[in-house]
Structure 1
Amino acid sequence: MRRKKTCVGLAMELISRWRALDAEFPGLDSATSLVSCEEAVLDVREYVTLGEGPNSVEYAEKEHVLVCVQLDVDGRPGVLLADPGYHLSRLIIVMHDQLYPHTGWFTQSEEPSCLKDYEYSCNPQNSKYVEWRERVTRGTAIKCQTSLIYVAQPFLDCIPITEKRNLVYNFKSLLARDPKGRLVAGMYFPVGGNMENATFTIFTDNGVEKRRTKYKFDAFRDPDNVHPSIVEELEHCSEKLRFKKRELLVIISKLANILSNQSFVEQVLEINDDICRMYL
């Protein structure tokens, strides 16, 4: 599973590349694993006190994964976390005692209309979980959520669980970021009930000018009939996504034809709704 487009593929690719560092840092490879994450947990205390691990939770969705390295700093336990799936441009150090080199709060992204801050720390009731706190500020409105990362054991079922769950999400995105984690290009779209008028958004940001354009999928069912000016815009975005020439156009054309199958879309949405209801 090395498609490098989802959190699973990106995490597995990162682990593969880190193996080359084991000669310089003996033990790194054996201390590194892929770990599971339950996003936006409503009742953190209840979740972590049901048992020692996720197998005690009746419905654990596990929709995200990260890379985890077990640490011991002069007898003080902790973990190092990398999250390529969410394009975090930094490594996170979580010490059980929250002392140096514990990372603490940091700004993940800062836009004129949105400030996003993250913080990671061990759960006080169950240290096998790391709490990932997210604080999003838009003007005077602040929205917070907490996700739980289980770091005590490697997550061995990332493909049959996380990867398959991601297939039926009702929102899709394809993003590129710079080394600092800033969004530079991509596309995104919701998967709705009526796909006859389905649209997607293409965006680019060169640091000076931001450009967002919305198009109807229906206009891309035949890639040879797309207007040259639109093809040029897609090529600009495709280049930032590090795709081959016309690759983004081909992807959008395939999506347009897939999403035109209303029966298929309805089945996907039904599966997603069933999963969401199961974990409420």
Structure 2
Amino acid sequence: MELIERINTLITRDHSAFSKFYIVSAEESIETVETYICNVPPNVMLVEKEHVAVCLKIQIGSGIGSKRSGYLLLDPGYHVSRVVTIMEDKSYPHTGCFVQEDSGKKKKEYEYIVTSPDYVSWNVTETKSDYQTGWTNLLFVGRPFLSGIDFAERRNLLYDFKSILQRDCKGQLLAGLYFSTNPKKAKKVTLFYMENNNVVYKHQNMVELFVDNPDIQLCEEQMNMKEGELLQMLNSIGTIIHDEDFITQSAKINKEIWTISRDN
């Protein structure tokens, strides 16, 4: 929503794209694409929306027989550092397949294709140690997504893996932290930051009261946080993780959601 507001401040009111950008919804790892895209709009009792992006419908050409349709997609939430152009005919200026992430250990490639008048397929290919896997996510572009809190944010609150990341303008990781809220795994928090052009990982015990140290300070600096802000955040995390009743209930609800998702 903030991204759309910023875009609208950069273009004039008489521009054809003004107020035409809208939020689209995504569901990940779709096993039966052909069946799924028959649902227009998606059945709210069956879908599990996990992500949103910003979209603009476009048309190139104006003459009879020369009109070409497509979409512009902006997806900073998945650290895509470009505007992706998705043409129905897959011709220029169609973006096509591109490398979204390449850390040396893992390479991830994205390709967006118009699958139907209402859906865009978001094909992901991941390569680790020469082993390649792939899956398809689907973006419903037929109508604006208006229920972000109901269908996306509430579910994300219960995911048992949390991360706070700082990336460069191309989406590559620079610094951050991650941890698990799973009662069986919530023993450590991992900080990482750049040192001599390499990523350094530092594991710290998950305690209720953290003590400031050089690793926290370096991570805080590279995350562009204020002095003492990261330490305060870690202490809040530590307090929450040590609330056994809350963590146990959260894990139970998360497991139930996974079960519902699997059955769907």
Structure 1-normalised TM-score? 0.87
Question: After superposition, where does 1:68-147 map in structure 2 within 5 Å?
Answer: 68-74=55-61, 75-123=67-115, 126-147=116-137
Q: Which amino acid aligns with 1:254?
A: S
Identity %: 35
Counterpart among 194, 209, 219 of residue 184 in structure 2: 194
Whether contact under 8 Å (1:59, 1:278) holds in the other structure is no
CA 1:90–1:206: 2 relative to 1, 3 Å:
farther
Query: Are residues 1:263 and 2:245 paired?
Result: yes
Q: Which amino acid aligns with 2:167?
A: R
Whether contact under 8 Å (2:58, 2:72) holds in the other structure is yes
Whether contact under 8 Å (2:202, 2:215) holds in the other structure is no
Partner of 1:54: 42
CA 1:25–1:89: 2 relative to 1, 3 Å:
farther
CA 1:253–1:142: 2 relative to 1, 3 Å:
same
Partner of 2:172: 182
String of CA shifts for 1:179-237, please: whole Å, max 9, x gaps: 11111011111221236x6211111125712200111111xx224xx1x4x2x322221
Partner of 2:64: none
CA 1:25–1:260: 2 relative to 1, 3 Å:
farther
Counterpart among 8, 12, 31 of residue 20 in structure 2: 31
Distance 1:24 1:246 in 2: 43
Q: CA deviation at 1:24?
A: 7.9
Partner of 1:171: 161
Q: CA deviation at 1:277?
A: 1.2
Distance 1:217 1:35 in 2: 37
Partner of 1:20: 9
SS of residue paired to 2:34:
helix
Distance 1:207 1:127 in 2: 49
Q: CA deviation at 1:171?
A: 0.8
SS of residue paired to 1:279:
helix
Q: CA deviation at 1:273?
A: 1.3
Q: 5+ unaligned residues in a row in structure 1: which ranges? A: 1-11
Whether contact under 8 Å (2:12, 2:18) holds in the other structure is no
Q: Which amino acid aligns with 1:202?
A: L
Q: Which amino acid aligns with 1:277?
A: T
String of CA shifts for 1:146-192, please: whole Å, max 9, x gaps: 10001111100012221111100111111111011111011111221
Distance 2:40 2:100 in 1: 30
Query: Are residues 1:240 and 2:232 paired?
Result: no
Distance 2:7 2:177 in 1: 29
Distance 1:268 1:80 in 2: 37
Distance 2:52 2:256 in 1: 22
String of CA shifts for 1:45-81, please: whole Å, max 9, x gaps: 22112x22213x6411111110111111112111111
Whether contact under 8 Å (1:183, 1:205) holds in the other structure is no
Q: 5+ unaligned residues in a row in structure 2: which ranges? A: 62-66
Off by >3 Å, runs of 4+ in structure 1:
none
Whether contact under 8 Å (1:120, 1:130) holds in the other structure is yes
Q: CA deviation at 1:13?
A: 2.0
Q: CA deviation at 1:25?
A: 7.4
Q: Which amino acid aligns with 1:243?
A: M
Q: How many corresponding residue pairs?
A: 257
